[in-house]
Structure 1
Amino acid sequence: MDTDLALGWLRAAAAAVEQHEPELTALDAAIGDGDHGANLRRGFTAVLAALDALPPDTPVGGVLSRAGTTLISTVGGAAGPLYGSALRTTGAALPAPAADITDLAAALRAGLSAVQKLGGAVPGDKTMVDAFEPAVAALERAAFDGFSLREAAALAAEAAERGARDTVPLEARKGRASYLGPRSVGHQDPGATSTALLFRALARAAGA
């Protein structure tokens, strides 16, 4: 991953969030506050403005870190701190001027750890972690197997989407949805869904 790919990823993510805002809103209305889609759209709109203001020689890590800081400052609820911390930590872990798949997988693993430290969630809790963790694991396997970034990103997106779907039968144990107890069963987690959108955006930016 280089600066151009990082910019392409975040712009593709912003487009995906805008396109899927109604879906994210509907999912969050069922088991949360109903504002996940609008909050993320507002945050990624601000990210786009922040990216346009970056100097052209900004390293890849700086691009992701700026995006993370912007999300923290503009997105309400839990999404801003969680996604913002993930991107800032990922950015801080990436070498300049470019990162290979192994570097990217390790950096995203650090980003996932930041999310888990902040939110206290583990796989199976019906949160964004249920999409994030399998996506990172898929990247790690792809790096070990010598796959291209395009192939690795596609595998990560598929794993994230599968992880999001797999939240449907789970009972939420973290976040607002946990207040519903058994009533949260049967609904796909909005955070896992938006996480899958971000990994699919990475795959698109990588040419998959």
Structure 2
Amino acid sequence: MLDADFFRRWMTATAASVDREADRLTALDSPIGDADHGSNLRRGFTAVAAALDEEAPDTPGAVLLLAAKQLISKVGGASGPLYGTLLRRTGKALGDAPEVSEEEFARALREGVEAVMALGGAAPGDKTMIDALLPAVDALGDSFAAARTAAEQGALATTPLQAHKGRASYLGERSIGHQDPGATSSSLLITALAEAHGE
């Protein structure tokens, strides 16, 4: 069973990973976006870690709802609403339970990913965070490690794609050959999830 401590570890591990990888995320964002993806997410997840230290929510859902609130209020551009929606919808799906099963979490995370797809209008293959998140959710039924691998492969697979959503879509064919920064940061989120689970 997964408790609030597990979800705090997930968010804290994500914050540390985003902090380490912020410059790389911004470098990926530079040719096809606003060159601020890394710095925006670093600001947001630093705020998430600080808020969790301060408030210590006691249910899995409450941890994710608090994280979502921070991301929506602190992160500029599209990333804040998209990541905030992912975590908020997942947290709401988990409800007030003090512990959730891995299967319940997988179902809740799928709801979160579907909410992101609805908000951004993105589908698999559009060269967005969905290209990492959806394969990860599909693989989560096997293991957390499988989800991490699927997310990493999904992020890498965005490189030859042409962007059809988001800022990169304005570039048309010039978006081809660049790994999507949103898919890459989503891969960091899922990698941190596997780390929190000890995989």
Per the TM superposition, whether the score is higher than 0.5 is yes
Normalising by structure 1, we get a TM-score of 0.93
Letter of the 1:107 partner, please give it: A
Structure 2 match to 1:70: 70
Structure 2 match to 1:39: 40
Distance across 1 between alignment mates of 2:103 and 2:196: 18
Any idea what the Cα deviations from partners look like across 1:119-174, whole Å, max 9, x if unmatched?
0000000000000000000013x2xxxxxxxxx11110100000000000000000
Asked if 1:91 corresponds to 2:79, the answer is no
Letter of the 1:115 partner, please give it: V
**Secondary structure of 1:104's match?**
helix
Asked if 1:189 corresponds to 2:180, the answer is yes
Distance across 2 between alignment mates of 1:84 and 1:23: 22
**Secondary structure of 1:124's match?**
coil
Structure 2 match to 1:111: 112
Structure 1 match to 2:131: 130
Letter of the 1:132 partner, please give it: L
Asked if 1:173 corresponds to 2:164, the answer is yes
Q: CA deviation at 1:101?
A: 1.4
Structure 2 match to 1:9: 10
Any idea what the Cα deviations from partners look like across 1:88-116, whole Å, max 9, x if unmatched?
11011115111111101100000001101
Q: CA deviation at 1:180?
A: 0.4
Asked if 1:101 corresponds to 2:102, the answer is yes
Distance across 2 between alignment mates of 1:186 and 1:110: 31
Structure 1 match to 2:195: 204
**Secondary structure of 2:163's match?**
coil
Distance across 2 between alignment mates of 1:23 and 1:192: 13
**Secondary structure of 2:135's match?**
helix
Letter of the 1:175 partner, please give it: G
Distance across 2 between alignment mates of 1:54 and 1:158: 32
Number of residue pairs the alignment of both structures matches: 197
Superposition RMSD in Å: 0.8
Identity of aligned residues (%): 59
Segments of structure 2 that go 5 or more residues without pairing to the other structure are: none
Q: CA deviation at 1:55?
A: 4.1
**Secondary structure of 1:76's match?**
coil
Any idea what the Cα deviations from partners look like across 1:10-31, whole Å, max 9, x if unmatched?
0000000000011100000011
Letter of the 1:164 partner, please give it: A
Asked if 1:164 corresponds to 2:155, the answer is yes
Distance across 1 between alignment mates of 2:42 and 2:107: 27
Structure 1 match to 2:54: 53
Give 4+ residue runs of structure 1 displaced > 2 Å after superposition. none
Letter of the 2:116 partner, please give it: V
Distance across 1 between alignment mates of 2:197 and 2:59: 18
